[in-house]
Amino acid sequence: MCLGAAKRAALHLRPCYQIDATWAQHQHFGAVFLLVGQDANNHSVLLCYGHAGNESAATWKWFLQQSKEALGTNPGGHWDILDNDKVVMLSDRDKGLWKAVSTQLSQAHHFRCLKHLQRNVKGTFGAKKSKRYMPAVKGMMYALTEGQFNQNRDALREEPLGEQIWQYLTTGNPPAPEAGGSQRAPRMPASDCWLMHWVAWRVPDGRRLFGTYTTNNAEGLNQVLKEARRRMPLQAMMYIAQWMRDQFNKGRARFQTFLGQPRTARLPPVVVKRCHRSSRKAQNKLTMPVQNIVDTAAAASGDVQSESLFPTTRHVTLPKTVEEPTCSCNVYKQYGVPCSHMWKLATVMGIDPYTLVVPELTTPVSLAAYDAATPVLITLNVATLEQRPLGTPGVRPPKGKPQGSRFASFGEDYRRMRGGKEWTCGRCQVKSTDMVHPHYSTTCTCKLPPVSALTRAGAPAAWEALAPGALGAGGAGAARGTRARGGDAAAAAGGAGDTAAARAAAAARAAPGAAAEGEGRRVRRRTEVQRAVAGAAAAAAAGAAGAGAAAGAVRRSGRRTRGVRSSGNHGGGAGGGAGAAARGRVSRR
């Protein structure tokens, strides 16, 4: 589905699009396809969306063909909006997507999402070693000149796994597990590994990435449209159409606000921030004075020497015609914003550097896109649609229950998907929010002493309370029963009250053995034993009457841990009555 508002707005957006698909969550399953553009302030603009049985080469060809026909051509009919020599299409490395783009969008340049490629490298060669090789890998991907690329490539080859990583990036063949690779490493087609598909400086001339190297905008819409993914296909289409109407209205109001402010009347805040960065570099002596200035009627040119660790000279040309300015650093080629060298030469020549920004990144052009899109009139009524095939490929959705949350992709740490929330290590109970070095049970290296249920805090003091001097009249019997080590506790006790106390001590002595036998199990069981021991000590210290309650408390903990029998003989008098009352509470529970 493509709204007329999206078709009119696409004429004014930057020619750099993102495509992605996500799983639907309704009872019939399937996949939801998205084609996303961007305005001058890097906000997402949904152009086309669709629904099919699964994500495959057939469904991708169908979606791109329908999107190409829906968006159409420019007003003069000279070129297609999606398929011309200026379009860059960003996507992940989904199976079948490469063939679909090369077939349906033959003139567009297909660039890979660098974030997905970095995860593939991490998952193939190990995340623990990534601190050594990932800086060089990222340096190659984001390099804007051949010199920067060669410098990072040489640095990568000096690493132990550098040669294997280079072969993987350029040939698509992952190394064998015995050579340091992963068994789950995806194999990439050789044509998919050409440098022009994942290195910034090898993007063909005339095409521009505008600083977009990932499919983050499309991935973000997958989460924003989570409610639509839970609905049936036609209802989801209607929900997304209404959401798009609200987004077009918000975008129009946003750029009208930019146009009314002097600071953002010409350029939106994101572009102004990048221009200020170039201005600071030019003013803070990060560039040397301009040399070899040539000013003609056609253009002004000069050499600007960078003041850096490795000084280099950049040649800048500022045409006075409709041609675009150029700089050998290639920053303007990829971003569309003047670099510090171009800013320096323009200041010397008396040219306003802000006028060098490409039109796609200006406030009036993006406002024209939203003006053309609004007002959005939605006349679709799902109830009146005819029950006929929608023309999607005859593919079968995957088996199983639709998943509620996204699984971590290859090479992705699922802990980082928590969005900065705090979690607790299941091994050492340490709380952490560190996303760079996540701390959880599988990465925990903390040294922990051997711990049993009765060596926790508070348990030793409870056992000390059972000493003969602390128990009073029943304490001697309890102590003798404890030292008897399996003997008759009643015979060791001096009376009926001592008998209950001795049984309490014997049962409490059996509790450590049960906890030691189950050492390493859940913390809940250990906590129950601690509470039982503390209750027994407090009750025994109160006298013979408390000894019966102590026996009942310990027997309750034994039943929960090892199933210690809670019935037995209780002494007479106050101690026996308390024990019977405790036994009655256990039976009622």
Residues 17 and 101 in one domain: yes
Helix 162-171 to helix 130-141 angle (10° resolution) is 40
Domain assignment present for 326: yes
Q: Does 469 map to a domain?
A: yes
- 305, part of any domain: yes
317-321, 344-348, 535-539: least confident range: 535-539
Q: Judge whether 451 lies within some domain.
A: no
Q: Are 474 and 490 in contact (CB under 8 A)?
A: no
> To 5 degrees, how large is the angle CA 91–CA 211–CA 278?
175
Single out the residue in 361, 385, 419 at which a domain terminates. Answer: 361
State phi, psi for 313 to the nearest 5 degrees. -105, 125
Identify whether 59 is part of a domain: yes
Is residue 464 situated within a structural domain?
A: yes
pTM: 0.66
Give the C-alpha separation, 586 to 553, whole Å: 9
One domain for residues 201 and 229 = no
Question: How many Cα atoms sit within 13 Å of 358 on the Cβ side?
Answer: 25
Are 477 and 583 in the same domain? yes
Last residue of a domain, one of 158, 174, 206: 206
Task: Identify the pLDDT of residue 126.
Answer: 81
Separation CA 425–CA 185 (nearest Å): 29
Please give the residue range of the domain that contains residue 100: 1-113+214-267
Closest Cα to residue 219, out of 96, 98, 92, 335? Answer: 92
Which of these, 471, 472, 477, lies nearest to 492 by C-alpha position? 477
Category of 369 on φ-ψ map: left (φ > 0), alpha (ψ -120 to 50) or beta: alpha
94 plus 221 within the same structural domain: yes
Same domain, yes or no: 101 and 156: no
Residue 418: partners with Cβ closer than 8 Å, 6 or more residues away? none
What value does the mean pLDDT take over residues 521-525? 60
The answer to whether residues 106 and 223 belong to one domain is yes
Q: How confident is the model at residue 402 (pLDDT cuts 50, 70, 90)?
A: low
Same domain, 106 and 230: yes
What pLDDT score does 93 carry?
Answer: 78
- The verdict on 252 and 275 lying in the same domain is no
What are the percentages of helix, strand and coil residues in the chain, rounded to 5? 50, 10, 40
- Considering 361, 380, 408, which residue would you say is the last residue of a domain? 361
Q: Is the pLDDT of residue 503 over 50?
A: yes
* Residues 222 and 79 grouped into a single domain: yes
Indicate if 246 and 199 belong to the same structural domain.
no
In this structure, the answer to whether residues 243 and 350 fall within a common structural domain is no
pLDDT digits over 119-178, tens only?
888 888 887 888 899 999 999 999 999 999 999 999 999 998 888 899 888 887 777 665
Same domain, 468 and 576: yes
Total domain count, the chain? 4
